[in-house]
Amino acid sequence: MEHQTAIEFTAVLADDELSVLEGVKTAIDWKSLGIRIAALASNGHDALDAIIKHKPDLAIIDIRMPDLTGIDVIQRSRNAGIRTDFIILSGYDDFSYARDAMRYGAKAYLLKPLNGSELNDEICRIFLERTSQNRGTTRRLYQDQFNLNFFNNLIDGKILEAAIISRMLCDTNLPLSDSSCYVCVFMFEESLPGAGTSFSPEPVIEQLNQEFSDEKHIFWKHDPKQLVGIFNTSSLIPFHTALRCLDTLKNSRLPLPLIGVGDTVSGLMECSYSYNRALTAMTYQLYDSSSHIFTYEVICSTPPRTRLSDIDCLPLFQYIVKKDTDGIKTYCNQFIDSLLYVPMPPPNYVYSFCYALFHQIQQEFAEFSHGEISEIATARDLYHFKQLSQIRQWLCSSFCQLSEFIDAVYGYATPKYAHVQETASRTDDPIIRQAKEFIRSQIINHIKIEDIAREVHLSPSYFAIYFKNKTNVNLRDYLLTEKMEYARRVLMNPGASISDVAYDVGYGDYRSFSRAFKNVHGITPSDFQAKYRS
């Protein structure tokens, strides 16, 4: 269904709303249709001038524009003997506008907001008419594009009338009938064994069409990594169809896809169900990375008994705080095992529970770490993995890294404040030295970990761990002692305001500041100031 052609046609686009004009320009892959945009216009006069100058094959214009309406532009173009085909756009659902536009020769009338698929269909239909006497590549291009839109809409469930399917089959010579059928989905990914580094649909479709020339079927490219095939039922069972596809591509040394086979349905109107079942079947590669074919029979129909609210993340939270790596790994493995209530539960169920666990832990720590931990990993990363073993490893690795980060920043697994500055001063690492200088220079600017990390050109999590490894002091304790040392020096002035000093080092209330000062210096700020004054 794919052909390349040189630029053979031109188009003018006109709309007084720049956002709509840009939308029309970007909604269509003009080059692939062999169409060059000759001009853009934002009012009726400019549109008419462009049409008279370029005499385009197609003009897409708004029905209501300043100075001249779209209908005026069509009328004056016809009076000038120009045979441009027009598509009218309008925000007004009024039959009188459509009637006037059609009377003056408009080929289509589309309502805003613009539907790109509908516009593409109308463009292809217009150029199919223009190339009706052409039996070469150009006409095949528009016919294939028209067919492509039809079948994409079919599997997306957007075709709601059987008459549309009947008319399509009647007007084309497609080797397909509106009878019992099933959908095969071919997913080409670089990570699949034998898939190669790139995927070009033309040779794959050509080879498969040759192989199944005796079967009623259709293949087309649905998106950059996916081909779809519809087969009418025959003596060949669906699994053997998929196996034959795989063997054909392997023998031709073409990329090998992951193949999903959907349920057999009674007619083309039900292809969207078969298509979605094929997509669901392919997700079961989570449990079998060696297979290339997954049929709808693999889909689990036994509902789980566990709910998201049943997740108890408290033990994991405690393991992370205590920097208990073995506890973290044991918890994660037991958690994954608990999800396998059948050997292969629905993959979406597994993803959902793992997502919920990670999100809960992330929320627990984010409440007091200002969100820096999201730099380590996010719950969305989970969906990059296609195998259960990868999810296990990711959970364990992410939580262990989070534990190391929490310890590096907050030091819950080590004693606090004991000889912090003395210990930290022993390293002469240039990055640590630069960080310390920055901290001291910015101590009253309410700096955060990400500010310091940015200064030394490292990520927040990596810098926190780096600091801990180099100094044997967690970063939060070091920041606290630096703040309290600054406060101590200022409070040596009997006239200094304790509340002002507290605010300078990032404390909004006296009680919190007093507690922090005492933890570091062993005395409250007010007692310290009184003692120093005396």
Tens of pLDDT, residue by residue over 118-127, are 888 788 778 7
Q: Are residues 187 and 136 in the same domain?
A: no
Query: Between residues 313 and 133, which one has the greater pLDDT?
Result: 313
Which of 40-49, 68-77, 95-104 has the lowest average pLDDT? 95-104
User: Of 410, 438, 469, which marks where a domain is finished?
Assistant: 410
Query: Between residues 274 and 32, which one has the greater pLDDT?
Result: 274
Mean pLDDT of 224-234: 93
What is the residue range of 507's domain? 414-534
Q: Are residues 13 and 148 in the same domain?
A: yes
User: Residue 196 — pLDDT band, cuts 50, 70, 90?
Assistant: very low
Q: Are residues 119 and 185 in the same domain?
A: no
Q: Are residues 495 and 518 in the same domain?
A: yes
pLDDT of residue 422: 61
Question: SS3 helix, strand, coil % of the chain, rounded to 5?
Answer: 55, 10, 35
User: Residue 371 — pLDDT band, cuts 50, 70, 90?
Assistant: low
Q: Is 182 helix (H, G, I), strand (E, B) or coil?
A: strand
Q: Are residues 78 and 189 in the same domain?
A: no
Q: Are residues 351 and 438 in the same domain?
A: no
Domain count of the fold of the chain: 4
Is beta strand 181-187 parallel, antiparallel or unpaired with respect to 226-232?
Answer: antiparallel
Residue by residue, DSSP assigns 111-166 as: ESSP-HHHHHHHHHHHHHHHTTT--SHHHHHHHHHHHHHHHHHHHTT----HHHHH
pLDDT of residue 261: 98
User: Residue 192 — pLDDT band, cuts 50, 70, 90?
Assistant: very low
Question: Contact, 233 vs 176, CB < 8 A?
Answer: no
**Which range, 191-205, 337-351, 455-469, 485-499, is most confident?**
337-351
Q: Are residues 190 and 208 in the same domain?
A: yes
Q: What is the mean pLDDT of the chain?
A: 84
User: Residue 292 — pLDDT band, cuts 50, 70, 90?
Assistant: very high
Which of 324, 356, 327, 323 is closest to 339 using CA atoms? 356
pLDDT at 221 over 60: yes
Query: Between residues 245 and 418, which one has the greater pLDDT?
Result: 245
Q: Are residues 350 and 389 in the same domain?
A: yes
- Domain of residue 501, CATH code: 1.10.10.60
pLDDT of residue 413: 52
pLDDT of residue 93: 63
Give the span between the Cα atoms of 257 and 168, in whole angstroms: 29
The answer to the question of residue 25 being in a domain is yes
pLDDT of residue 4: 46
Q: Are residues 60 and 80 in the same domain?
A: yes
The answer to the question of residue 255 being in a domain is yes
Give the span between the Cα atoms of 383 and 397, in whole angstroms: 16
The residue whose two tokens read 């007619």 is 267
Question: Contact, 56 vs 82, CB < 8 A?
Answer: no
pLDDT of residue 465: 84
Question: Contact, 181 vs 233, CB < 8 A?
Answer: yes
User: What amino acid is encoded at 394 in this protein?
Assistant: W
User: Of 366, 385, 410, which marks where a domain is finished?
Assistant: 410
Give the span between the Cα atoms of 359 and 357, in whole angstroms: 5
Mean pLDDT of 42-57: 93
Q: Are residues 419 and 394 in the same domain?
A: no
User: Of 104, 119, 152, which marks where a domain is finished?
Assistant: 152
pLDDT of residue 274: 97
Query: Between residues 196 and 335, which one has the greater pLDDT?
Result: 335
Question: Contact, 228 vs 268, CB < 8 A?
Answer: no
User: Residue 333 — pLDDT band, cuts 50, 70, 90?
Assistant: very high
pLDDT of residue 189: 77
The answer to the question of residue 159 being in a domain is no
pLDDT at 265 over 80: yes
The answer to the question of residue 19 being in a domain is yes
Query: Between residues 135 and 186, which one has the greater pLDDT?
Result: 186
The answer to the question of residue 3 being in a domain is no
User: What amino acid is encoded at 207 in this protein?
Assistant: Q
Query: Between residues 197 and 321, which one has the greater pLDDT?
Result: 321
pLDDT of residue 295: 97
pLDDT of residue 345: 96
| Long-range contacts (CB closer than 8 Å, 24 or more residues apart) made by 234-240 | 238/182, 238/184, 238/264, 238/295, 239/293, 239/295
Q: The pTM is what?
A: 0.64
User: Residue 191 — pLDDT band, cuts 50, 70, 90?
Assistant: very low
The answer to the question of residue 163 being in a domain is no
**Which range, 278-282, 304-308, 448-452, 496-500, is most confident?**
278-282
**Which range, 34-38, 252-256, 265-269, 373-377, is most confident?**
265-269
Share of the chain above pLDDT 90, in %: 38
- Domain of residue 126, CATH code: 3.40.50.2300
pLDDT of residue 423: 63
Q: Are residues 395 and 436 in the same domain?
A: no
Mean pLDDT of 329-340: 96
pLDDT of residue 350: 96
pLDDT at 86 over 50: yes
The answer to the question of residue 477 being in a domain is yes
The answer to the question of residue 2 being in a domain is no
Q: Are residues 319 and 340 in the same domain?
A: yes
